[in-house]
Homo-oligomer: A and B are copies of this chain.
């Protein structure tokens, strides 16, 4: 067992970095079992939680994998030789996707549905209208016209009343999480949803924050675990959690706000796919409940184009003041050109028409997806709260999660299970496939049907 000296604060991060480096340098080899959390913790003289967080970080970044009831194992790391090496794999989707007919894991909105001709027309218009004005420095919080359009859009789409002067434009949601850490500080503990996006966990951890996963129940994030964790900041998606699909009910919402007020903490409301609510009434924002304790974050990367990293956040007054005092000497990182074009897209109603079109499309794909799931296995139970383009499919009779994935794979279908998104062990997540249908086409579903 490697012996590490973990001085200073942020022990888990130091431990994570040491193990990661040892994996990269080959000191740990592929397939090797890591020491159990308990043994390692006592060896290093740290708490089990420290080791657990380090393992979770390594897990989230794919350095290790976890096998149920047997522990953690070093993964095969693809060390691309740099300096003379072909960069051919840059940006290639990970994994051998080709072998699948249908991929329910990765996916973004189909490019054909993006109104490219409108976008190009707006871009040409911006070039003509703004001219050399496009060269000017953009104020730190973003272009005034875009912030104004987002303010109006938030009212139209989410019923959120907030002035443009509380809105900050950034280069995508993950960029904004980094800004949030800079605003709130690294001495706070950040809680993220478990299961959840490993990317969110990593974004906070990479920015030097301590992160703790908190279990998501059918009522949203567990308040009991949250309180026990000692967290000061809670990052959640109350309108539609990924991957569980849970919509946080009203009573839990009030309780979460109560927690934030009592604790002097903040809630980061990640509203990333609220545009895509396909059925049922719209879910209110947490922000509306308590604008002084909630940071509202959303992005256009998912709804427009993955190449356009453009997100925004709404800050409580106190934090907006801090933001301006920290950053007003600098310029905004998103090019003015994209900001002006998006402002024109929002102002002209093109964005909402695009979303309406996407929603219609997703409703069709959802119906086909449900149909094929039932054909594949009549015993499956489908859970769909009507939110964004993913749903859950449980196989109570399946022997294990691996068996679920293997059965799908044998039909040419790629899925992950809820347990694949676990950042820490949690019960009640077994035998449930996460079906993200945002990137599949009717033709692909047909191809699978024809094989049955």
A76 within 8 A of B: no
CB of A320 within 8 A of chain B? yes
| Cβ B185 vs Cβ A61 within 8 A | no
Q: Is A154 an interface residue (CB 8 A)?
A: no
Quick one: closest B residue to A139, CB to CB? B91
Contact A335 B307 (CB under 8 A): yes
Contacting residues, chain B, for A85 (C-beta < 8 A):
163, 165, 317, 320-321
Task: Known contacts A134-B307, A144-B60, A163-B83; decide if A94 and B338 are in contact (CB<8 Å).
Answer: no
Indicate if the CB atoms of A165 and B82 lie closer than 8 Å: yes
Q: Does A383 contact B (CB under 8 A)?
A: no
Given the known A-B contacts A87-B144, A317-B82, are A306 and B331 also in contact in the complex, defined by CB atoms under 8 Å?
A: yes
Closest CB in chain B relative to A422 CB, distance in Å: 17
Number of interface residues of A (CB under 8 A): 100
Residues on B with beta carbons closer than 8 Å to the beta carbon of A332: 309
Cα of A428 to Cα of B159 in the assembled complex, Å: 60
Enumerate chain B residues within 8 angstroms of A325, measured Cβ to Cβ.
20, 24, 61, 63, 77
Instruction: Tell me whether A262 is interfacial, beta carbon within 8 Å.
Output: no
Give the residue of B114, B318, B337 whose beta carbon is less than 8 angstroms from that of A132. Answer: B114
Is the beta-carbon distance between A321 and B135 smaller than 8 angstroms? no
> Given known contacts A307-B135, A335-B308, is B79 in contact with A321 (CB within 8 Å)?
yes
Verify B132–A123 contact, CB threshold 8 A.
no
Interface residues of A in 130-145 (CB under 8 A from B): 130-141, 143-145
| Stretch in A170-178, A213-221, A223-231, A403-411 touching the partner | A170-178
Copies in the complex: 2
A322 within 8 A of B: yes
Give complex CA distance A429, B211 in Å: 45
- A108-B127 CB under 8 A given contacts A321-B79, A330-B174: no
Cα A174 to Cα B297 in complex, Å, equals 22
Q: Report chain B residues within 8 Å CB of A328.
A: 90, 94
Q: Enumerate chain B residues within 8 angstroms of A139, measured Cβ to Cβ.
A: 90-91
- Scan residues 10-65 of chain A and give those whose CB is less than 8 A from a CB of chain B: 10, 13-14, 17, 20, 24, 53, 56-57, 60-63
List the B side residues contacting A4 at CB < 8 Å: none
Q: Is the CB of A207 within 8 A of B208?
A: yes
Contacts of A317 in B (CB 8 A): 82-85
Beta-carbon contact of B333 and A175 below 8 Å: yes
Which chain A residues in 330-383 approach chain B with CB under 8 Å? 330-338, 340
Report A190 CB to chain B, min CB distance, Å: 13
Q: What's the Cα separation between A450 and B135 when bound, in Å?
A: 32
Task: State in angstroms the CA–CA spacing of A310 and B148 once bound together.
Answer: 25
In Å, the complex CA distance between A407 and B444 comes to 76
**5 A-B pairs whose Cβ atoms sit less than 8 Å apart in the complex:** A10-B187, A62-B148, A85-B165, A87-B164, A307-B337
- Beyond contacts A56-B133, A138-B307: 5 other A-B pairs, Cβ-Cβ < 8 A, are A20-B325, A60-B144, A120-B127, A123-B123, A136-B306
Q: State the 8 A-B residue pairs at the shortest beta-carbon distance, nearest first.
A: A91-B139, A83-B317, A87-B165, A208-B208, A135-B305, A80-B163, A137-B306, A171-B333
